[in-house]
Amino acid sequence: MEINPSESTRMLIPDDLLAQVASLAQEAGEFLLSCQANVVANEKDGAHNLVTQADIDCERMVCQRLQGLLPGSKFLREEEASDGDGNSAALWVIDPLDGTNNFVHGIPQFCVSIGLALAGQLELGVVYDPNRRELFTAQRGQGARLNGQLIQVSQRPDLQHSVIGTGFYYDRGDLVTRTLAAIQRLFDEPIRGIRRFGSAALDLCWVACGRYDGYFEYRLGPWDYTAGALIVQEAGGRCSDRDGQALRVDSGNVIASSPQIHADLVRIVAYSR
Ligand code: IPD
Ligand code: CA
Ligand code: CA
């Protein structure tokens, strides 16, 4: 399923679907804040990859409500079993809590991320940051917004003036070595700075509103970047996979940036380099 907001088949969806999903994401984000007083972290896959009851409860609540908004829709989600893929007529791609390590450590950088693809075409993206009360939304062909105001990717002309975000998957092997090597190459360029804040969906939204000029991460789940990728593209940015090819829901990695620096960023951080 290619993530490319071009004009093609558009399934009939309610006019106010974006508003309803946005309000659900806000409710889910406020729920996460309310869980912070009592966080119990369990290890999913080693000590780095955590899950809390808040991840699970939030995902259940969000999926139940989304099913009501679009009956018959399928889910690609992080915590419970998925029942859909890129061929589904309507597919919700959900990360109920992106930034679980931050959440567990009391670091206020996490969000709720909800994307919708219709017959393989991304249609809606909603990301809510409850700590800043920032709501990022996009609908295909209608631009991207932050708290209702249209947003645009950075206008900075080149990598030298750029701040680039990145992230490390939970795997501690080759991916870390390659990510650190790519960061070194970026510093050699040189760039203005590197950031690693720990929520891929917010990293993408920060590209969309021009805080970061670009962002890359070598391994992700579809729920980490599907909504954010539409928000970046609708804000005028470019997204590709880690080798500069078309981004797909199953790519499992991303390079996102303003159009001005995308080719240079891909040249420097391409995984296959
Ligand atoms: C993680 C965050 C992090 C990224 C990891 C993701 P999670 O998601 O987005 O920034 O570096 O690769 O898995 O586990 O907190 O939902
Ligand atoms: Ca995530
Ligand atoms: Ca998550």
| 83 CA from centroid of ligand 2 (Å) | 18
User: Which atom from ligand 1 is nearest to the alpha carbon of 221?
Assistant: 13
Classify burial at 66, counting beta carbons within 10 Å of its beta carbon; exposed 0-12, middle 13-18, buried 19 or more: buried
Q: What value does the mean pLDDT take over residues 242-251?
A: 93
Mutation pick for ligand 1 pocket among 77, 98, 180, 218 (CB with most ligand atoms within 8 Å)? 98
Query: 27-80, pLDDT tens digit by residue?
Result: 999 999 999 988 888 887 777 778 889 999 999 999 999 999 999 999 999 999
Which has more confidence, 203 or 10? Answer: 203
Report the pLDDT value the prediction gives residue 11, as an integer from 0 to 100: 57
Report all structural domains of the chain as residue ranges with CATH numbers, in order of start.
7-150 (3.30.540.10), 159-269 (3.40.190.80)
User: Which atom from ligand 1 is nearest to the alpha carbon of 203?
Assistant: 10
Judge whether residue 8 has pLDDT over 70.
no
> What phi and psi values does residue 84 have, to the nearest 5 degrees?
-140, 170
The single-letter DSSP state of residue 192 is S
**E strand or H helix at 268, and its extent?**
helix 259-269
Report the pLDDT value the prediction gives residue 49, as an integer from 0 to 100: 79
Judge whether residue 222 has pLDDT over 70.
yes
Q: What string of H, E and C letters represents the secondary structure of 48-78? A: CCEEEHHHHHHHHHHHHHHHHHCCCCEEEEC
User: Which atom from ligand 1 is nearest to the alpha carbon of 197?
Assistant: 10
For residue 220 and ligand 1, the question of a CB distance below 6 A is answered with yes
Q: Which ligand has the minimum distance to the alpha carbon of residue 100?
A: 1
Judge whether residue 163 has pLDDT over 60.
yes
Q: What value does the mean pLDDT take over residues 114-122?
A: 92
Query: 165-206, pLDDT tens digit by residue?
Result: 999 988 778 999 999 999 999 999 999 999 999 999 999 999
Confidence of residue 247 (pLDDT cuts 50, 70, 90): very high
> What phi and psi values does residue 96 have, to the nearest 5 degrees?
-70, -20
| 8 CA from centroid of ligand 3 (Å) | 30
Report the pLDDT value the prediction gives residue 7, as an integer from 0 to 100: 40
End-to-end Cα separation, the chain, in angstroms: 25
Query: 85-104, pLDDT tens digit by residue?
Result: 888 999 999 999 999 999 99
Q: Which ligand has the minimum distance to the alpha carbon of residue 102?
A: 1
Paired tokens of 251: 């790519």
Taking residue 174's Cβ as centre, other Cβ atoms within 10 Å add up to 9
Q: What value does the mean pLDDT take over residues 110-119?
A: 96
Paired tokens of 266: 């891909």
**E strand or H helix at 82, and its extent?**
none
Mutation pick for ligand 1 pocket among 194, 195, 220, 251 (CB with most ligand atoms within 8 Å)? 220
